[in-house]
Structure 1
Amino acid sequence: MKKLAPFFLALGILWGSAHAAEEKSIIVSSTTSTEQSGLFGYLLPIFEKKSGIKVKVVAVGTGQALDIGRRGDADVVFVHDKPAEEIFVAEGYSTKRSEVMYNDFILIGPKSDPAKIGGGKDIQIAFQKIATSQAPFISRGDKSGTNAAELRYWKDAGIAVSSSSPWYKETGSGMGPALNSASAMNAYILADRGTWLSFKNRGDLVILVQGDPKLFNQYGVMLVNPIKFPQVKKVEGQLFIDWLVSKEGQDAIAGYKIDGQQLFFPNAKK
């Protein structure tokens, strides 16, 4: 019987290896807001149960997520910087961009509100007041979709920001860590609403500016071009995208809430 033990051990290893080889999986490079808001923790088990496809998420800033796609190191890219996404498609790294959902950006700051922006509806005016007051402002500084939007708002406000300014601090971090920095420093920060709603370490921070149409925050998804990168799992990746934009996927996105508040709003084109 002892002589058979190695045989059964080897058989078990072979079976386990074959089983692992059969497991279907994809890599999705995505923005930190989809991860840190808890959306993926809610969505992915639903998709995985239905499809049998395991989704491995690499959550980084949108710029980094797109670069991962440019290297062919992901099957799907799911981000929120439409101009950058359109460039990604134009460069041939994907053949199609599909809109999935949206929420909005909000301007967070301390209750004391030294820049006196509370209750405002115009993000450009708010940024001008922050610059004039030189109140502390935390920037992600990580080439994320949120960082790209923030820099557009400063530019539109006619403000040239620089890390050399004592009041403007770049963290080079994701949304959650950047919010932690803002909380610790009682600073202003631009955030996506989804991550803010799931953020617990708020300290004295509150929403001060919201509702400006310019704060609209659209998310898009793209299959990395399998012609350019033959290793891309075209079938499995497309199944994930098709599910996200299907009625079932869109209903699942709408169903994700924290304290009764919906974090993302599906808007895939029919």
Structure 2
Amino acid sequence: MTGKIAFALWLGIACPLALAGEQVLRLSTTTSTDNSGLLAWLLPVFEARTGTKVQVIAVGSGKALELAKNGDVDVALVHARAAEDTFVAEGHGIKRRDVMYNDFVLACPPSDKADIKGGSDIVAALRRLASSEVRFVSRGDNSGTDQMEKSYWKAAGIRPPPPRYLSAGLGMAQVLGMAAELQACTLTDRATYATFKDKAALAILVQGDPKMFNPYGIIAVNPARHPGINERAAYQLIDWITSGEGQARIAAFRPNGQQLFFPSALPAR
């Protein structure tokens, strides 16, 4: 059984409405947009406007773009700008638009045994962490967060040796829990941290570095590569989420009074 056939069968089981003929849009996206509750806040409005059911597949950005490259989804909402640009340049995606941004933070045990609290230079903080005895848990899943973390270690020129550096291969929520249990640090997007901070018992020790800027983009799968995709619905979602209404809805998402994502869409060119 090919991957596409298996995926189609899974969609038929997971989303019976697709079998009944209702228009379905397949969206691959990051765990941060799903775990934070943002999609549950945004998508019902879009679905009501268009009569389209959105089937969400929340994975790391690398996997989300892989699903899009294979034609297993119609549109991707991710946060891995370099990978997004490559995806479009290679002809896999079209109509890419900026959507929103937030930032990354370095979350660690409050005891701060690496003595990095209050810093705003992520590379310097990671050098200090690597020279300490503190452990670090990496997502290790080629997500946007994982790609950014790897770039910081490369810039630092040093990384904790095993077993102080652990590659989890898990989503952000699970990694936060793992880091808390192991009394380790991890790099996380602010939205997921804010959603799980009460359970994870980790503190933000480093934030505010411009290098920790975290932009999100949305991209339609190129119908020339995969004629069977729902091109019309993909364009509808892109147009809506970057519209005044969609952007205002993003800005209004404030669980516990904290704004987690900031709209950044520019007029379509």
TM-score of the superposed pair, with normalisation by structure 1: 0.90
Q: Is the 8 A contact 1:28 1:55 kept in 2?
A: yes
Residue 247 (structure 1) aligns with: 244
CA change 1:160–1:46 in 2 (3 A) is: same
CA deviation string 1:144-186 (max 9, x = no partner)? 0000000001111112466xx1100111000000001011111
Residue 192 (structure 2) aligns with: 195
Q: Is the 8 A contact 2:105 2:207 kept in 1?
A: yes
Q: Is the 8 A contact 1:186 1:204 kept in 2?
A: no
Are 1:41 and 2:21 counterparts? no
Q: Which ranges of structure 2 fall in alignment gaps of 5 or more residues? A: 1-15
- SS of residue matched to 1:236: helix
Task: Find the aligned partners of 1:258 and 1:185 in 2 and give their Cα distance.
Answer: 28
How far the C-alpha of 1:96 sits from its partner, in A, is 2.9
- SS of residue matched to 1:259: helix
Residue 127 (structure 1) aligns with: 126
CA change 1:74–1:22 in 2 (3 A) is: same
CA change 1:203–1:58 in 2 (3 A) is: closer
- SS of residue matched to 1:117: coil
Are 1:144 and 2:143 counterparts? yes
For 1:50, the aligned partner's letter is R
- Write the mapping of 1:1-270 to structure 2, written as runs, cut at 5 A: 21-160=20-159, 165-270=162-267
Identity rate, percent? 48
Could you tell which deviates more after superposition, 245-254 or 21-30?
Answer: 21-30
CA deviation string 1:32-58 (max 9, x = no partner)? 111111111111111111111110010
For 1:255, the aligned partner's letter is A
For 2:173, the aligned partner's letter is G
How far the C-alpha of 1:20 sits from its partner, in A, is 5.4
CA deviation string 1:114-173 (max 9, x = no partner)? 1100000100010001100031111000000000000001111112466xx110011100
What is the RMSD of the two structures over their aligned residues, measured on CA atoms? Answer: 1.6
Residue 13 (structure 1) aligns with: none
Matched length: 252
- SS of residue matched to 1:118: coil
- SS of residue matched to 1:199: helix
Q: Which ranges of structure 1 fall in alignment gaps of 5 or more residues? A: 1-16
